[in-house]
Every structure is written in C-alpha cells, then in structure tokens.
Amino acid sequence: MQPEGRGAAVPRRVSPLEAQEAIARAHREEWARVVASLAARFGDLDVAEEAAAEAFATAVERWPVHGVPPNPGGWLTTTANRKAIDRLRRESKRDRKQREAQMPYDEGPPEPSSAIDDERLRLMFTCCHPALAMEARVALTLRMVGGLTVAEIARAFLVQESAMGQRITRAKAKIKAARIPYRVPSTDDLPARVSGVLAVLFLVFNEGYLASGPGTDAVRHDLTAEAIRLARLLRDLLPTDGEVAGLLALMLLTEARRDARISPSGELVTLDEQNRAAWDPLLLAEGHLLVRERLAAGVPVGRYQILAAISAVHTSARTSRDTDWSQIVALYDQLVRLDPSPIVALNRAVAVAELDGPAVALVTVEGLQGSLDGYHAFHATRADLLRRLGRSEAASAAYDRAIELSGNTAEVAALTRRRDRGRPDA
C-alpha cells in the first residue's frame, strides 16, 4: 500500500538504520507542516495531532520494510489526512463531522493576497494566542509546532506527565470552544501578537539556558536547540521582522557559549571567567551578522534587538578586559526606555559597576530590593558588589540568600564557592 496513491514514485530501499534516520529527520522537518495542514483542513487540533502521530507511527512500521518515499512530507501528509478522515468516519456524529472537515476553521473574511500565508505560522499564532495562559502557550507550541512528546515537555518543565497532558488538552479545548481563529493576525494586530510568540520562545530558551529545577542538567540543550529551531522557522516566515531577527541573534550568541558555561566540576562559569576559545565560532558569526544587519537597517530597534546587540558587544571582545562597557551601558540606557523593569535596571547596574565602580552600582541595586527580594540574581549581584567593596559579612549573607532562592545546581555550586572564598576564615 502506498499512501501517495496510484502512479507514485517507487520508495528508496534503505537499511533499517537509514530508515530510522529518515524518520527522525522527517519528524524534525515535517511535523509542523503536517499538523498545520491538518488543522487548516479539519479545524481541530486534536484531530490534527492524533492523525499526524498515527502517520509517523505508520512510517516507523513501513519505511524500514518498504523503503523511504521520495517525498516524505507528502507521504506523511497524505497518510495523516487519511487517518483523520477515518477517525471522523468512526465518530458517532459522522455527518456533522464530515461537513466540518470540508470547511475552513476560520469563519472570518479572507485575508488579502499580500498577507503572510503559511499554515505553520497560522499554527504558531494559534498556539500562542493571548487568550491562553502563558504556561499553556509554551506547552501547546512545543507539542503542536515543535513535535515534542507530552512526556518530553513534562520533563522539561518538571511537572507530572499527566498534568502536562491535561494542560495541553485544556488549551486545545479552549481554542475550540472559544473559536479562536486559525489565522495570522491582521496587519494592525501583528506586532503585538508576534511579541507574544517571541515571549514563548524566549521562555523556552531561558529554561534551557539555565534550568530552574534542582537535580536536572544545569543547561538543557534540548530546550535551547528547540527554541532556536522554532525561532529560525519564525525568521523564515517573517524575514523582515526586526524583533524576530533580534531574538534569533540573541539565542545564537548565547548558545555559542554553551560549552564554556559549566566547569568540569559542575559549576556555572560566569562570562568573565569563560574560556572564549571554547565558544562556537559559527554560531557567533551568524549571530553577529544578524545584529549588523539590524543595525544597518536604520530603523528603530526593539527589546530583543538591543539585548542581542549587548550580547554582541560581550562576545566580540577578545578578553573580558577588552569589553566596551561604555557601549553596553549606552545600550542598556536604550533598553530602559523601552522596558523600565527592575530586572533591566539590575542588569544595567552590573555594567555600571564595571564602568564606574561597585559603589556606584550598589546604590542602584539597593534601591531595587523591594521589587526583587525574591529574585536570586538580585542577591547574587548585591553579594558580588559587596564582596568587591570588602564588606565580607554582608556579602556572605547576600550569597546565602541567593543560594536559598536558586534552583540550578551549577549556579548554587558557583555561588557557594564565591561565598566561601570571601569569608575571613576561608
């Protein structure tokens, strides 16, 4: 049986290992396309997800025996469509379901021909709709667009698989019940909605960059890699959006330092202590190129573009001492105007400490305690400034508070070492 139908090209016979590799590659490259096309046709994310999963399961059974089809994506889409139709035929309300299967999900007016028209982008905007809670958006995006299993998503965010499954199920049910439109937002709404998608991807990346749970890997490469893959997809679909390019650049410049961020003993290594020879030159080059392209565009930049520019300054310095701190402070000044949050002010204070000294920076940091007392990085920053000023006892107490609040084992190890090194009896 060939799902492509009569006249299909002959599948290519391969070894079992090659078939497995082809299936894994197809899952990475085709999952979002298959799910998106099914969602567009049937208007039901449950149907789309289950039929896509069944199609890949069928590929696992058949490709090692019958060979890899010349068009894996087409084979999977055709097979998944047949699985979906078979399911709908089995439903008790067959007639109504089959009529719905022939109707587009979005009942609104057709979009103009110039609108972005990619079903994967529609799927991403649907999963990241602001009507859903942020945790639901993250889970649904990783499942429907990223193709991660419920178990993988649950492990990533340290919740029970059953709880994560319920979260995803409720999100899909809300989309269906609220008739959330399966479409790219209008031109007027697009900037705000893109920012919501970027926030989801940034949250996924940050959880991988510095995993928050005790007992987990300090750096979750699976999550950072998935966030980068989805950001690349978004960049392909929205090539002129500066903030999309900015977030991708920020991720690449951060991921480039991954191999230097954890010491052999399992401690988190701060940027100034990292072995820069261990940074990935290809990721750095790609990230720097994106930053330069955005600067050359001559248009106002957004939050992610500024963060990427700050990272570019850090990673272009040959050594920590060569860092242009005045440029970094100037970039933070721009960022504060866009995002006057306490966390941005805290990060700016770190740069000010290098430019004007720890005493100047400490004044700013002390003023943030009311807003950031429950944030471990606030206490770690305050501890480092106090240590540099020779206030050992106060620094030790601040390190203790940072250790108490931090959930990352590698970060706890680094903070403990710095605290103990600064004690008078150390």
68 in helix, strand or coil?
Answer: strand
Q: What is the pTM of this model?
A: 0.74
Closest CA to 380 of 368, 147, 333: 368
What are the structure tokens assigned to 180, written together? Answer: 């959330």
- Output the CA angle 157-163-169, nearest 5 degrees: 105
What are the structure tokens assigned to 120, written together? Answer: 């994967």
In tens digits, the chain (426 residues) has pLDDT values of 455 444 456 667 768 788 888 888 888 888 888 998 898 888 888 889 999 999 999 999 988 888 888 888 899 999 999 999 888 888 755 555 555 555 444 444 333 333 344 788 888 888 888 888 888 888 898 888 888 888 878 876 768 889 999 999 999 999 888 888 777 777 777 777 888 889 888 888 887 787 655 555 667 787 888 889 889 988 988 898 999 999 999 999 999 999 999 888 888 898 989 999 999 999 999 999 999 999 888 888 999 999 999 999 999 999 999 999 999 999 999 999 999 999 999 999 999 999 999 999 999 999 999 989 988 899 999 999 999 999 999 999 999 999 998 877 888 888 999 898 866 554
Closest CA to 55 of 69, 44, 400, 235: 69
- Output the CA angle 308-309-312, nearest 5 degrees: 90
Looking at residue 314, what DSSP letter applies? Answer: H
